[in-house]
Amino acid sequence: MADRQQTDPAPQWWSRPEGTAGDARREGVPAPRPEVEAEGEGGAQAASAAPVVRYDPWGVQPLQVVDRGRTPRGIRLWQVVALSVGTALLAGGIGGYLGVLAERRSSTRLELPQAAAADRGRAPESVAGIAATALPGVVTLHVRGEKGSGTGTGFVLDQQGHILTNNHVVADSKEIAVTFSTGESVTAELVGRDSGYDLAVVKVSGVRGLRPLSLGNSENVKVGDPVVAIGAPFDLSNTVTAGIISATGRPVTAGGDKGDGSDISYVDALQTDAPINPGNSGGPLLDARAHVVGINSAIRGADKDDPTRQGGSIGLGFAIPINQGKRVAEELISTGRATHPVIGVTLDMEYTGDGARVGDKGEDGKPPVVAGGPGARAGIRAGDVITKVDGQRVRGGDELIVKIRAHRPGDALTLTVLRDGRESTLKVVLGSANGS
């Protein structure tokens, strides 16, 4: 049967139930519309006169006949306020996010407050000023020998390429490479060295633009003077440290690894608290005018049996006075060897009393006082105890050697001598001996 629209009256159960206001209603069935209830007893006639609304399932649009109750009222004020606040918050959040996103994507970058660029110059007497003046004349030495390799420091003496350093840096060397502060490296040759003063001179050739350091006068150094040390501790080249002169005239002995005393260095040293570590050896110790006043040579570490022993600087560094270094360097450049001032006696190094005692016999059975030598001419005898040099007390044989080597051959000294319980003074003119 072909589809067609239903024209017969719809079944009564599709329509809304009819009845008066007083009719009992089943639970969930809505009450009649108000206008029907207002009609009272004539309501049945009016209802029959009004067209019956029926649901036509075949209609284009279904007709909703369920009673929805009262007509909804207008939007209340609190709803408007809540909607406005919510919209404002949402708009603010979206706007803030878009603003941050736009700033990040823009070419403008965030910058924190910072001091303006200042004059990069430094006062000449400042640590930075001293370093700027001296660094071009300081070099790092890399040495290779039969026993291994090592690192040390040196500084340029003249335009001819002579460089002063420590003897223990280049001792037994086979190859020496010199690296300047610019990073340029060249080979160097050994000119001369002296183990007694722990000084050596090497030379580079074919290098232009050398910057020799100015030599000061170590006699002008006073305790408390500011100083700057430059070197290559642990191969960290161009390292600058600063401190003060802690003391002058410190008797320091170093070396002695050979066991025969030929490699012992005797230094009347400048003591400084400027940090000095392995690799600083041979580097300059500079005063406030960037003048070299010492050659960094040794440090004092903690005792070997101390479990807290430090391998580096503990604030006790020692430098060879430049006056001594200058004389030795001049001799090494001129002759390849240095001379040592002597008094011509053999000391009893086993003596434990106060002062330096002249031995009872010399080397190889020779007399302890060299015949015709400086000591013999001054009147020194075997068994004499030398207690002072130019009024400065000496406590042992090492200190006496240090005090004598702080002078030049030909210098006149006054020795205080204790003999048979009596003290006397003797004048001695220092002689000369070739160093090793």
Residues belonging to the active site: 168, 198, 281
What distance in Å separates the CA atoms of residue 359 and residue 357, rounded to the nearest whole number? Answer: 6
Residues 6+ apart with CB under 8 A from 291: 213, 214, 215, 216, 217
Please name the residue that has the structure tokens 């070099």.
139
Alpha-carbon distances, residue 401 vs 1, 10, 79, 357, 394 (angstroms): 141, 140, 106, 12, 10
| Cα→Cα distances 422→353, 355, 393, 417, 418, Å | 16, 14, 16, 8, 5
Q: What is the rounded distance in angstroms from the CA atom of residue 360 to the CA atom of residue 310?
A: 41
Torsion of CA 22, 26, 31, 37, to 10 degrees: -20
**Sign of the C-alpha dihedral, residues 271, 253, 235, 295?**
positive
- Sole residue written with tokens 């280049």: 170
Between the CA of residue 156 and those of 161, 207, 234, what are the distances in Å? 7, 12, 21
Using CA atoms, how far residue 371 sits from 122, 378, 381, 418, 419, in Å, is 60, 11, 11, 21, 20
| Total residues found in the chain within this entry | 436
Which residues are registered as beta bridge partners of 427? 414
292 contacts 215 by C-beta, under 8 angstroms: yes
Amino acid at 267: V
Given CA atoms 48, 50, 54, 59 in this order, what sign does their dihedral have? Answer: positive
Sign of CA dihedral 247, 253, 257, 263: positive
